Structure 1
């Protein structure tokens, strides 16, 4: 479900299917009817199990600080559909969305696409209409058969690979890696994070076949602790950037920062932009992202961790940033995640859980989460808003986590 998307579909009589249907045939047909707006765009394409949003946030800030206009397409939403399509950090307006829906109505693509495919078309149209210099494009599901995989990017990025969406992407790391590696395009640089050995082999093979220059974390570039922050080292390009100080917390965000810097260096070569070290340093220092270890109120944090890999990163960051603090969780999850593994991990640092329902067709029931939990204190919250608001007085830290869809719904209700 894409919040506030239906109103545009109804207003402009453009129909789409809420089901997930992997494959590119339908969107290619629709884009042809729309005169292929994606071909007018300079794109950095980003796939990965976790880390996509943060990597894009770092990249966006670097590009903006170097004077580029930047389109960004991401999912799911933070508040509603409008913030999934942004230019220079500003969500698409209702008027602008009406313009692209009018274009889609006139092109006759109604009934051809899924909701996400339709939204992808809307994003391409908006970015082409506004003639942005750069588009940062996040895959929705996998890569190979994802609706965003119709572009020929300047650079591809694969942030991480872990088990996810196994019913669609496959039940092994190798199968999932084959989907993620689908965004690697002939002759175009690909930047990759720390990947499991099986996944690394798949991506390296794909890059070799596609004759794509490969930049791998800890092989081609890395980040080291610096007395005044962190140090980025690019072995291949012989570039060192010192005194990097991140606003986004957690060691994993250092890796995402490094991916973004490497991709920006490669992208800048193609666009013939001079990379200014001071601007990179400044960009890293001011990059932030909603729902990534985000303190929304005193003693209340939002984090969009929603699978075992991202939950482990959250736990690491909590231990690092909030040692010896009493921790409790407000948790809602979608049913197709590894719920038991997530719970077992979170239960290593807290014995107090508050489970919630939220409006999504894939959402797990709070009562099912309660049943699976082994925590000593576990409660179902019928209305989590008063609980979150009162948590500012809690002698400890309350984390709201488990699903970005949940956080979007809560943000809407709290108007933050």
Structure 2
């Protein structure tokens, strides 16, 4: 009997994916656990799980690049995407074809036909299948939101990496740093291995407590584990810390995998590591600074990065999701520029802060633009340096106009 495929082509799959709702969440792991049980491929490759509030994408990019320098075939799963969901699943940094995506989706539907997977869960399952199909030596899996009920928290990783934890997604994860840290701490495995970046004391205490309960060995970056002369291409002092976290995590992975830790390969990997939208400076008729800073911790890093680079934007184009706490962010925005801030809408994004309301909250100095096209049209000839920040979805709208800037 001929097998009936759910998706005949990538267009059909994309329509189905969109119908699931990009922001629909169901904070349980039952559907993912059903898929993993039916799939039976979990032991096919080791995994490094990257969890935290800020720096997950950059740290994942460095880990991927370092592993590639070792000659490993590396599958990487990140989120969100800018222009196409195919950006989320890569092999050695390269996207898979539309045909392979369609085949992966059909394979997932065969494995768990009635699981009712959400948008993020479906893509997570596809990543796992893609990594097994392609015979990867290592999977680098970036958590989406939180840790406890994140779809990636079904992979039983060999190593869990915690980037800095801060206030974000409070309506889902909790209203205090302790609650947010507790959610993310649940990504640790029983009797596992984890490493953390420098954390605020409240978050560090939660991670340490949870590690003790699980018998998980929790490491921190110290002077003995640092690699000298790391020079990430990505700008900002915080990227040096993300790179050190990746290097220290790689040292632990090497110990577990019985690889020789090679500092020169680590340096080369870090120097080659790249991810778009992280204090990225491009030229498109004027200088644009592109940064996905969307919470207080990230804005502090952005502010420090701009100051160290001697950059002061003439204008800022800003957008955010409507669940954001805007007080501290608003103050930071007006410290960063002597010019105006354009409150920008994001088309077809149900979670985006309505641009007129956003402008009203930001104050008299703010202007309102319906979308990125209108915001760019509002720029004056004297606006030589423009910062676009606040949401990766705003950056996505920019990259849709200028896809060449998605590459290094």
Answer yes or no: same fold by TM over 0.5.
yes
The answer on whether the counterparts of 1:329 and 1:398 sit within 8 Å (CA) in structure 2 is yes
| Separation of aligned partners in 1, 2:259 and 2:89 | 25
Query: What secondary structure, in the 3-state scheme, does the structure 1 residue paired with 2:76 have?
Result: strand
Partner residue of 1:334 out of 321, 326, 334: 321
Equivalence for 1:293: 279
Query: What secondary structure, in the 3-state scheme, does the structure 2 residue paired with 1:156 have?
Result: strand
TM-score, normalised to structure 1, is 0.88
| Separation of aligned partners in 1, 2:83 and 2:282 | 14
Q: 1:39 to 1:398 in 2, by over 3 A?
A: same
**Deviation at 1:6?**
7.5
Q: 1:405 to 1:395 in 2, by over 3 A?
A: closer
- Counting matched residue pairs gives 391
| Separation of aligned partners in 2, 1:141 and 1:5 | 26
**Deviation at 1:408?**
1.3
Residue 31, structure 1, aligned to residue 25, structure 2:
no
Equivalence for 1:22: 27
Q: 1:141 to 1:383 in 2, by over 3 A?
A: closer
Residue 208, structure 1, aligned to residue 195, structure 2:
no
1:295-310 to structure 2, matched below 5 A, reads 295-297=281-283, 298-310=286-298
**Deviation at 1:51?**
0.7
Alpha-carbon RMSD across the aligned residues, in angstroms, is 2.4
| Separation of aligned partners in 1, 2:400 and 2:379 | 18
Q: 1:39 to 1:394 in 2, by over 3 A?
A: farther
Residue 117, structure 1, aligned to residue 116, structure 2:
no
| Separation of aligned partners in 1, 2:18 and 2:402 | 31
Equivalence for 1:368: 357
| Separation of aligned partners in 1, 2:370 and 2:207 | 45
Deviations 1:78-113 (A, max 9, x none): 322000111111112211111111112323424612
Deviations 1:157-203 (A, max 9, x none): 11011121112111111111111111111222211112121111110
The answer on whether the counterparts of 1:299 and 1:392 sit within 8 Å (CA) in structure 2 is no
Q: 1:36 to 1:393 in 2, by over 3 A?
A: farther
**Deviation at 1:246?**
2.3
| Separation of aligned partners in 1, 2:371 and 2:206 | 45
Residue 166, structure 1, aligned to residue 154, structure 2:
no
For structure 1, the 5+ residue unaligned runs are 223-232, 235-239
| Separation of aligned partners in 1, 2:345 and 2:164 | 29
Equivalence for 1:319: 307
| Separation of aligned partners in 1, 2:304 and 2:18 | 45
Equivalence for 1:53: 57
**Deviation at 1:415?**
3.0
- Which deviates more from structure 2 when the two are superposed, residues 252-261 or residues 204-213? 204-213
Residue 104, structure 1, aligned to residue 91, structure 2:
no
| Separation of aligned partners in 1, 2:318 and 2:19 | 33
The answer on whether the counterparts of 1:16 and 1:112 sit within 8 Å (CA) in structure 2 is no
**Deviation at 1:383?**
4.8
